[in-house]
């Protein structure tokens, strides 16, 4: 556990974000390794199938992820206020909700798989691969929720290193299973899904055994878990906007996939690969934003409002530098990056154009995430939700469809940075109002407290 309420802001945020970033890079390696193995040993139809599956997975789990986000913010604020009894109650409540939700969503998701793929007009030659992959993946949601819930709890307590170790273990295991099941056993896309489930399950079980033996606060004993209604209500209040935001974002991605599907298998496969690379490039902004949320949560919980602005500026500088570096690499090596996943030149050309267009605006994306990180850390998730949904549904999706009809699939790529730019502007304008400072769970007197402007 790490106290983020004292010390140099930039150093604390970097030290907290770096292990979390590295951990999420390893977590993304799940998807990247899957795609590399599929693209090189199964084919572009299977690659398109996996790409089409992820927005659906995201849509199914988004509300639960939002609840976990709310619980993590509460953990950070209670930990900053040194109320460890409330921290333990929040952890228990989070685990109970995650386990129940994983079972319900697995059943619903498996049942709806076929109708969803037909609804988004996935090509007939891709649907069998997509159905197999998605149904197997969803059967292991309890491991996904369990492991990611544990990692989120630890981050709320200021510990970003422990989740990293288990992510590294999980990723290495996943690579081994992928190669074994696909290349040796010839299980195809089913082998990739099974390998991912086994890797996630192994990481979760190993993490719980370790934490039960070594950690004072995070100890999972099924029989001793206690549900707290008030904490559940607070988690819903804070997490529901984030969950709804993620749900509508994922539904928006499904809408984007529907537009992409209109252009055939090559474009679908290229979009699938480019999204993998894009998601990896987005990790620094997302993880520094998450680190800033924990930093803000602890400092507002400790009534140290003056540290929030310094943390924001430091994070903005760090993410901007990283974004520029990633942009240069993505533009100069777009063909080579695509070539890792496939040798189909048509797919490479389409995906390279995506990377060149989208990566040119990563600094806009990172600025948006950092600003939202401040507001989420304060417990204000409603306005960021509206901003994100407006940028996606009112701007990106209509622009994607309109431009795709005029200039082809390239129009879909241009709509992405247009949405980011609007989201960043709206987030900054709301940050300037200072209203987010009144949304904390832990309240302090007005004098020198959360109502002070920055």
User: What percentage of the chain carries pLDDT values higher than 90?
Assistant: 34
The answer to whether the beta carbons of residues 126 and 268 sit under 8 Å apart is yes
In a domain, residue 70? The reply is: yes
The tens place of each residue's pLDDT in the chain, 454 residues long, gives: 567 778 888 999 998 888 878 877 776 776 777 778 888 888 888 888 887 888 788 777 777 777 777 787 788 778 877 888 888 888 888 888 889 989 998 999 899 888 888 888 888 888 999 999 999 999 999 998 888 888 878 777 777 788 888 888 888 898 899 899 998 999 999 999 999 899 989 988 888 888 788 776 667 777 778 888 888 888 887 777 777 777 777 788 888 989 998 998 899 999 988 988 888 888 899 889 988 988 888 888 788 888 988 999 999 999 999 999 999 999 999 999 999 888 899 999 999 999 999 999 999 999 998 999 898 888 787 888 788 888 889 999 999 999 999 999 999 999 999 999 999 999 999 999 888 887 666 666 544 444 443 3
Instruction: Compute the C-alpha angle 220/205/232, nearest 5°.
Output: 40
pTM: 0.71
In a domain, residue 323? The reply is: yes
CA distances to 10, 182, 189, 201, 298 from 139, rounded to whole Å, are: 41, 19, 15, 11, 36
- Matching residue, tokens 């987010």: 436
**Which phi and psi (to 5°) does residue 279 adopt?**
-65, -35
In a domain, residue 451? The reply is: no
In a domain, residue 447? The reply is: no
In a domain, residue 450? The reply is: no
- Matching residue, tokens 């970003």: 160
Best CA proximity match to 277, nearest among 396, 178, 357, 195: 357
The answer to whether the beta carbons of residues 73 and 81 sit under 8 Å apart is no
In a domain, residue 454? The reply is: no
Burial of 192 (0-12, 13-18, 19+ CB in 10 A): buried
Helix, strand, or coil here: 452? coil
Residues 270 and 264: their CA atoms lie apart, in Å, by 10
Please state the domain count of the chain: 1
Tokens, residue 24: 């999420």
Residues 213 and 436: their CA atoms lie apart, in Å, by 39
The whole domain housing 260 covers 9-438
- Matching residue, tokens 């401040």: 374
Residues 125 and 363: their CA atoms lie apart, in Å, by 38
The answer to whether the beta carbons of residues 193 and 137 sit under 8 Å apart is yes
CA distances to 39, 182, 272, 345 from 269, rounded to whole Å, are: 9, 19, 5, 12
In a domain, residue 443? The reply is: no
Residues 392 and 384: their CA atoms lie apart, in Å, by 12
In a domain, residue 1? The reply is: no
Task: Give me the count of residues in the chain.
Answer: 454
């Amino acid at each position: 556990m790490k106290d983020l309420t004292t010390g140099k802001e930039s150093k604390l945020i970097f030290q907290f974000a770096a292990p979390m970033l590295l951990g999420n890079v390893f977590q993304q390696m799940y998807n990247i390794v899957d795609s590399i193995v599929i693209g090189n040993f199964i084919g572009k139809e299977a690659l398109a199938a996996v790409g089409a599956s992820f927005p659906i997975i995201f849509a199914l789990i988004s509300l639960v992820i939002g609840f976990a986000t709310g619980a993590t913010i509460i953990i950070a604020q209670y930990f900053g206020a040194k109320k460890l009894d409330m921290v333990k109650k929040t952890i228990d409540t989070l685990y109970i909700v995650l386990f129940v939700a994983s079972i319900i969503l697995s059943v619903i998701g498996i049942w709806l798989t076929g109708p969803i793929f037909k609804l988004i007009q996935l090509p007939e030659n891709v649907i069998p691969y997509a159905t197999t992959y998605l149904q197997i993946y969803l059967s292991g949601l309890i491991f996904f929720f369990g492991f990611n819930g544990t990692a989120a709890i630890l981050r709320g307590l200021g510990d970003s290193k422990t989740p990293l170790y288990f992510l590294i273990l999980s990723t290495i295991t996943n690579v081994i299973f992928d190669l074994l099941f696909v290349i040796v056993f010839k299980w195809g896309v089913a082998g990739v899904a099974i390998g991912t489930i086994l890797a996630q399950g192994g990481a979760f079980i190993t993490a719980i055994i370790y934490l039960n033996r070594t950690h004072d606060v995070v100890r999972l004993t099924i029989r001793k878990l206690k549900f707290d209604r008030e904490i559940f209500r607070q988690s819903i209040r804070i997490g529901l906007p984030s969950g709804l935001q993620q749900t509508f974002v994922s539904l928006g991605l499904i809408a984007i996939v529907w537009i992409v599907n209109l252009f055939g298998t090559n474009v679908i496969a290229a979009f699938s690969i480019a999204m993998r690379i894009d998601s990896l490039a987005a990790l620094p902004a997302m993880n520094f934003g998450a680190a800033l949320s924990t930093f803000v949560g602890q400092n507002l919980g400790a009534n140290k409002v003056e540290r929030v602005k310094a943390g924001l500026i430091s994070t903005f500088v760090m993410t901007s530098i990283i974004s520029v570096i990633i942009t240069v690499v993505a533009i100069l090596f777009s063909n080579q990056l695509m070539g890792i996943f496939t040798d189909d030149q048509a797919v490479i050309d389409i995906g390279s154009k995506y990377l060149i267009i989208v990566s040119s605006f990563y600094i806009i994306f990172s600025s948006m995430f950092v600003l939202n990180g401040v507001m989420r850390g304060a417990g204000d998730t409603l306005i960021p939700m509206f901003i994100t949904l407006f940028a996606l549904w009112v701007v990106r999706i209509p622009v994607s469809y309109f431009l795709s009809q005029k200039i082809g699939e390239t129009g879909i790529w241009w709509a992405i940075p247009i949405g980011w730019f609007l989201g960043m502007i709206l987030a900054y304008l709301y940050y300037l109002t200072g209203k987010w400072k009144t949304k904390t769970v832990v309240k302090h007197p007005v004098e020198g407290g959360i109502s002070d402007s920055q």
